[in-house]
C-alpha cells in the first residue's frame, strides 16, 4: 500500500512566511512526524511550489508532486494519484504530527478485511471547533466542514481526522465528481465520503489527530510530542519533564539525571550516569559517561570524554574536544581546541585554536591570543605544563612538556621543556607617593 501526504496549503492562519508543515517541533519539521508514521509505505507528498525544494531536501526518499492551483485538498490529491501504482492507498494531512503508526496500521488492517471503497479515521473531541463533522446516514456518512455547518451540525463531536484509506480506482473516479459548491469555493477531499458505495470508519484517540493551523495549536502539539519523546527514556530521571526540552534525535544513557530547563538539541548523545544540571544547553554534541555538566553551561558541536566536569557557566564552542577527566570550570570558554586527559582550566579562561596535553593546569585569567587580525593561529601546550594566572599566550606558540609559565607572563616565543618562563616589569614601590598626589590634586581643584 502507498501513502499520500497533503501539504500544499497556504498556511494563512499560522501567520508566517514559513509553511506550517515546515515549522520545527523538537528538532524536526511538523511534516516529519507524519512521514515517520507512514515510513513503512511508499510515500508521496503533495506541496506547493514555495516549499517543494525544502521538502525534497528534507525527504530524499519520497516522491514530491506539485499542486499548481491551490484550490482544495481534492485537487491536491489529483496531483499525486496518477503516480500511485497500488490498488489502494492512505491519504493524510501533513499538519497532524501526533498521528501514530499504530493507528495507520490498524486502519489498513480493517480496510483489508472489509474492502470498502473508503475508510475514514475519526475521533471525538470535547471542543470540535474547526474540524469537519462526521454526519452518519442510513446509506453512509457525510463530512461537513465547519464553515458549511449549521448550529445543529456544529454540536456533533465526532470529527474527521483528515486520514483516509482509499481504493485507487474509486478515488480516481470520485475525484472527477467532487464540486466546489461550498463556503470556500474549494474542492474538498472530505466530499469523497458521500460518493462511496461502501464506507467504514475507525475511531482513534483524539490526541493523535490534533492538527496545526495556529501558533497556539503548534504549542499544544509541541508539548504532546515532547511528552512522548521524554516517555521513551524510562531509565533516565527527569527532575521536571515539563521544563525539559529534548529533541527527537537525542540519545541519553541509563541512570542519567536531567535537571529542569535543560535543552538537548540536534544529534546530541549523553552517556550513562551523567548529571546534566539546570539551564544547560547542549547541541549536536557527544557527552561521555559519568560526566557532570554543571548549571548554565553551553556546549555546541563538541565532544566531552568520560568523567569530565564542565561548568558552571562554561561555553564549549564548535569543534572542541574535551578528553577524559578534564575540568572546565566557571566562565571558561573553549573553541576549536583539544584539552588532554586530566587537564584543568578552572575559571575565567579562554582557550581557542589550541592543543593541550595531559595534566595541564591553566590558571585563572589565562587567554590564548589566537587572532592576529588576519588569521587564526594555534597554541600547542605539552603534558604537565603549569600555567599561572593572568597569562597571555600569543599564538602561534608552543610550550613543551613540564614547563612552568609564571603568573602575569605574556608568552610570545616557544618554551622549552622544564623551563620557567616569566616576563614582568621590575616592581617599584614609591613611599608616600599617594599623599603627595592627593595634595597636588586638591590644590588644582581649588583653583
CA dist., res. 82 & res. 88, Å (int): 13
Residue that has been written with the C-alpha cell 607617593 in this structure:
433
Q: What is the CATH number of domain 236-421?
A: 2.160.10.10
pLDDT at site 130: 86
Antiparallel, parallel or unpaired: β 158-167 and 118-124 = antiparallel
> Could you list the mean pLDDT of each consecutive 10-residue stretch along the chain, which spans 447 residues?
93 90 96 96 95 94 92 94 95 95 94 96 92 90 92 94 96 94 89 93 94 93 97 97 97 98 98 98 98 98 98 98 98 98 97 98 97 95 98 98 97 97 91 94 89
6, 111, 170 from 117: Cα distances, Å: 20, 9, 6
Domains of the chain by residue range: 2-215, 236-421
CATH topology of domain 2-215: Spore Coat Polysaccharide Biosynthesis Protein SpsA; Chain A (3.90.550)
In angstroms and rounded to an integer, the radius of gyration of the C-alpha atoms of the chain is 32
Q: Map 365-409 to HEC letters.
A: CCEEECECCCCECCEEECCCCEECCCCEEECCEEECCCCEECCCC
pLDDT at site 139: 84
330, 352, 377, 382 from 374: Cα distances, Å: 30, 15, 10, 26
CA dist., res. 16 & res. 221, Å (int): 17
pLDDT at site 184: 84
CA dist., res. 318 & res. 299, Å (int): 8
- Three-state SS at 146: helix
Contact 322, 337 (CB under 8 A): no
pLDDT at site 9: 87
Element (H, E) at 263: strand 263-265
Name the active-site residue from 23, 115, 347, 401: 347
Is 401 a residue of the active site? no
Amino acid at each position: 500500500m502507498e501513502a499520500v501526504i497533503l501539504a500544499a496549503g497556504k498556511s494563512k492562519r499560522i501567520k508566517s512566511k514559513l509553511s506550517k508543515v515546515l515549522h520545527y517541533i523538537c528538532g524536526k519539521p511538523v511534516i516529519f512526524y507524519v512521514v515517520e508514521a507512514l515510513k513503512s509505505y511508499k510515500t508521496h507528498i503533495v506541496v506547493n511550489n514555495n516549499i517543494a525544494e525544502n521538502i525534497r531536501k528534507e525527504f530524499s526518499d519520497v516522491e514530491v508532486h506539485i499542486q499548481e492551483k491551490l484550490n482544495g485538498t481534492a485537487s491536491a490529491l489529483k496531483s499525486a494519484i496518477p503516480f500511485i501504482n497500488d490498488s489502494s492507498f492512505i491519504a493524510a494531512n501533513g499538519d497532524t504530527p501526533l498521528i501514530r503508526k499504530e493507528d495507520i496500521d490498524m486502519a489498513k488492517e480493517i480496510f483489508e478485511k472489509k474492502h470498502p471503497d473508503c475508510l475514514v479515521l475519526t475521533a471525538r473531541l470535547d471542543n470540535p471547533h474547526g474540524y469537519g463533522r462526521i454526519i452518519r446516514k442510513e446509506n453512509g456518512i457525510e463530512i461537513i466542514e465547519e464553515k458549511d455547518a449549521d448550529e445543529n451540525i456544529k454540536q456533533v463531536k465526532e470529527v474527521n481526522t483528515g486520514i483516509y484509506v482509499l481504493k485507487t480506482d474509486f478515488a480516481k473516479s470520485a475525484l472527477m465528481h467532487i464540486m466546489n459548491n461550498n463556503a470556500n469555493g474549494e474542492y474538498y477531499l472530505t466530499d469523497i465520503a458521500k460518493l462511496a458505495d461502501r464506507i467504514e470508519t475507525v475511531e482513534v484517540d483524539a490526541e493523535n489527530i490534533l492538527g496545526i493551523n495556529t501558533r497556539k495549536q503548534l504549542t499544544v502539539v509541541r508539548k504532546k510530542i515532547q511528552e512522548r519523546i521524554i516517555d521513551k527514556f524510562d531509565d533516565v530521571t527527569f527532575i521536571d519533564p515539563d521544563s525539559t526540552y529534548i529533541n527527537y534525535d537525542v540519545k541519553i544513557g541509563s541512570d542519567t539525571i536531567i535537571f529542569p530547563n535543560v535543552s538537548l538539541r540536534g544529534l546530541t548523545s549523553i552517556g550513562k550516569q551523567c548529571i546534566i544540571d539546570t539551564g544547560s544547553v547542549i547541541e549536536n554534541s557527544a557527552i561521555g559517561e559519568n560526566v557532570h555538566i554543571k548549571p548554565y553551561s553551553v556546549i555546541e558541536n563538541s565532544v566531552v570524554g568520560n568523567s569530565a566536569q564542565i561548568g558552571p557557566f562554561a561555553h564549549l564552542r564548535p569543534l572542541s574536544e574535551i578528553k577524559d577527566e578534564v575540568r572546565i570550570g566557571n566562565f571558561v570558554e573553549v573553541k576549536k581546541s583539544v584539552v588532554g586527559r586530566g587537564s584543568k582550566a578552572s575559571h575565567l579562561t579562554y582557550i581557542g585554536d589550541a592543543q593541550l596535553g595531559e595534566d595541564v593546569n591553566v590558571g585563572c585569567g589565562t587567554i590564548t591570543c589566537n587572532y592576529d587580525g588576519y588569521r587564526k593561529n594555534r597554541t600547542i601546550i605539552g603534558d604537565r605544563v603549569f600555567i599561572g594566572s593572568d597569562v597571555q599566550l600569543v599564538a602561534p606558540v608552543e610550550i613543551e612538556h613540564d614547563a612552568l609559565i609564571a603568573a602575569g607572563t605574556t608568552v610570545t616565543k616557544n618554551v622549552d621543556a622544564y623551563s620557567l618562563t616569566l616576563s614582568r616589569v621590575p616592581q617599584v614601590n614609591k613611599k608616600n607617593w599617594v599623599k603627595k598626589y592627593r595634595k597636588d590634586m586638591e590644590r588644582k581643584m581649588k583653583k
